[in-house]
């Protein structure tokens, strides 16, 4: 039985992040399956250790990407990542130290952590990248129509740069119309 099913609704639209999220789903499902089948405490801890290590690696990848694209919510994401990592690390430590029983609450926490973080936080990364790409396309299109707009395109021009490019294009059209008369 699958505890946590991946659907297209969880796709951020960034292949590396989506692949890593899918692997986190796999690890949580593996943890659930071992717990449900009554596997040994040491086997559960092995899976949880892998989950902790992979979550840390995943957060580092996400943060590097956010920094590269100048994501405006980077600081908030870093703070959330730190809290989430601390929570699963503490869970791992507790289970290692106390040989505490893994229960439905533990599994619910892991499921909620991953799904809510993807849906509420990580979707914004993909949305931001798509908006930024659309702005770059508009700037490139404006630059292609008017070479003087290149400066704005190089800076990831926004609507104002496109308006400036259109004004320049209109001036050029008027000049060429006068020269032809």
Block means of pLDDT (10 residues each) for the chain, 181 residues, are: 89 95 94 87 87 92 96 94 87 75 76 88 94 91 66 42 35 37 34
Question: In CATH, what number does 8-124 get?
Answer: 1.20.120.50
Which helix H or strand E contains 164, and what residues bound it? helix 159-180
* Predicted local confidence at residue 108, as pLDDT: 84
* Predicted local confidence at residue 158, as pLDDT: 42
CA nearest to 120, candidates 67, 84, 91, 68: 84
* Predicted local confidence at residue 88, as pLDDT: 84
* Predicted local confidence at residue 150, as pLDDT: 47
* Predicted local confidence at residue 93, as pLDDT: 82
Phi/psi of residue 66, each to 5°? Answer: -60, -40
SS3 category, 107: helix
* Predicted local confidence at residue 165, as pLDDT: 32
* Predicted local confidence at residue 146, as pLDDT: 54
Structural contact between residues 118 and 75, judged by C-beta atoms closer than 8 angstroms: no
Instruction: State the span(s) of the chain assigned CATH 1.20.120.50.
Output: 8-124
* Predicted local confidence at residue 85, as pLDDT: 86
What six digits make up the tokens of 52? 């902790």
């Amino acid at each position: 039985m699958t505890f946590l099913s991946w659907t297209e609704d969880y796709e951020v639209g960034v292949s590396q992040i989506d692949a890593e999220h899918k692997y986190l789903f796999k690890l949580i499902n593996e943890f659930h399956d071992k717990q449900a089948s009554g596997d040994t405490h040491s086997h559960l801890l092995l899976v949880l250790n892998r989950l902790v290590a992979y979550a840390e690696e995943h957060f580092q990848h996400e943060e590097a990407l956010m920094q590269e694209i100048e994501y405006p919510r980077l600081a908030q994401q870093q703070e959330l990542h730190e809290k989430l990592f601390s929570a699963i690390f503490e869970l791992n430590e507790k289970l290692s130290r106390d040989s505490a029983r893994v229960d439905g609450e533990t599994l619910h926490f892991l499921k909620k952590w991953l799904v809510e973080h993807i849906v509420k936080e990580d979707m914004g990364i993909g949305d931001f990248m798509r908006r930024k790409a659309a702005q770059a396309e508009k700037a490139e299109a404006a630059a292609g129509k008017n070479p003087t707009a290149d400066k704005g395109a190089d800076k990831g021009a926004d609507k104002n740069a496109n308006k400036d490019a259109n004004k320049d294009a209109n001036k050029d059209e008027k000049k060429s119309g006068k020269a032809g008369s």
